[in-house]
Amino acid sequence: MRDIAFGQYYPAESFVHKLDPRTKILFLIVYIVAVFLGDNFYALGGCAGVFFLIMLFSRIPLQRLLRSLKAVLFLLLFMSVLNLFFFEGGKPLYDLPKPWRFLIITDKALYHATFLAARLLLLVLGSSLLTLTTTPVSLADGIESLLKPLKLIRFPVHELALIISIALRFIPILTEETGRIMNAQKARGADFESGNFFKRIKSLLPILIPLLISAFRRADELGDAMDARCYSGSKVRTKYKKLTYGWRDLLAAFVGVGLLIGVIFLKIYTGALV
């Protein structure tokens, strides 16, 4: 409990780690668009190429990246299997007697299922690369900065950013506290593991109530501490850390734009290939 590695951040000194978070967020958006626009394996191959390039420059071990797939593995398999058997049309690859007809796989279904799986794989891996190379804090900074234009329509960008930042700050504290309260109630014979669903929910009350009370107390104290440090909203506020783009970001922008153009090009000229 004491050393929760929060988020997915994988500390390293790399080109990608040093990129401005805004660049990385925007790049991810471009990459996702490209992956969705690409409707053939050439386009996906391009995306995969770009992905591997970034992975190399991020110094994240492939093993670590693959671990982030665990969570979506089931979804991935499920979707592929569904597509394999239920895709209509195409030539059957083999024949089966009557009651087993639904197990017949066609060439188009195979193509489609593989394609979808590859697409999903690229999406998940790409997003993981962002969270692995960017701390939650700078991610929040990036989002705040990118949302700035929304200030024009009076969207409370600064407040939102502060809320995210405080939430991030308190996650390890509340996690630890949950552990402590759980232990205390376990020591008093509480049992969180057995019983049916409702019983188990009910058995969580002795944890949730103290946790909630503690969260309110902490919020109250934090409010006082912020007041005492002259917090008064965003009116006169300056910002110590300003995000600045550098040459790396320019390079990343070229790659991103290149990828997008390439995929669109492929879409127009090779769409008929399939």
Angle of helix 107-133 relative to helix 41-58, nearest 10 degrees? 20
Neighbours of 87 (CB within 10 A): 17
Shortest distance in whole angstroms from residue 40 CB to another protein: 41
Shortest distance in whole angstroms from residue 138 CB to another protein: 9
Shortest distance in whole angstroms from residue 217 CB to another protein: 8
Q: How big is the chain, counted in residues? A: 274
* Residue 238 interacting with another protein (CB under 8 A): yes
Identify the residue among 72, 116, 190, 255 touching another protein (CB under 8 A). Answer: 190
Cα–Cα dist 149/151, whole Å: 5
Cα–Cα dist 228/219, whole Å: 14
* Residue 240 interacting with another protein (CB under 8 A): yes
Candidate segments 22-30, 88-96, 181-189, 259-267, binder of another protein by CB under 8 A: 181-189
* Residue 70 interacting with another protein (CB under 8 A): no
The residue among 34 and 162 lying less far from another protein, judged by its C-beta, is 162
DSSP secondary structure letter of residue 65:
H
* Residue 186 interacting with another protein (CB under 8 A): yes
Cα–Cα dist 225/213, whole Å: 18
Identify the residue among 59, 108, 218, 248 touching another protein (CB under 8 A). Answer: 218
Residues in 5-24 at the binding interface with another protein, rule: CB under 8 A: 5
Residues in 98-157 at the binding interface with another protein, rule: CB under 8 A: 135-137
Cα–Cα dist 93/108, whole Å: 10
Candidate segments 65-73, 94-102, 123-131, 210-218, binder of another protein by CB under 8 A: 210-218
* Residue 178 interacting with another protein (CB under 8 A): no
* Residue 66 interacting with another protein (CB under 8 A): no
Structure tokens given for 109: 């279904």
Amino acid 206 reads P
Residue environment code for 7-41, b if the CB has 16+ CB neighbours within 10 A, otherwise e? ebbbeeebebbebbbbbbbbbbebbeebbeebbbb
Structure tokens given for 72: 């979506």
The residue among 86 and 216 lying less far from another protein, judged by its C-beta, is 216
The residue among 77 and 201 lying less far from another protein, judged by its C-beta, is 201
Shortest distance in whole angstroms from residue 86 CB to another protein: 42
Residue environment code for 105-117, b if the CB has 16+ CB neighbours within 10 A, otherwise e? bbeebbbbbebbb
- Which residues pair with residue 106 across a beta bridge? 92
Tell me the number of residues near another protein by CB under 8 A: 52
Amino acid 203 reads S
Identify the residue among 112, 214, 243, 260 touching another protein (CB under 8 A). Answer: 214
Kindly list the distances between the CA atom of residue 150 and the CA atoms of 26, 104, 132, 206, in Å, as whole numbers in the listed order. 16, 52, 28, 42
Chain contacts with another protein (rule: CB under 8 A)? 1-3, 5, 135-137, 162, 165-166, 168-169, 172-173, 180-181, 183-191, 205-207, 209-210, 213-214, 217-218, 221-222, 224-232, 236-242
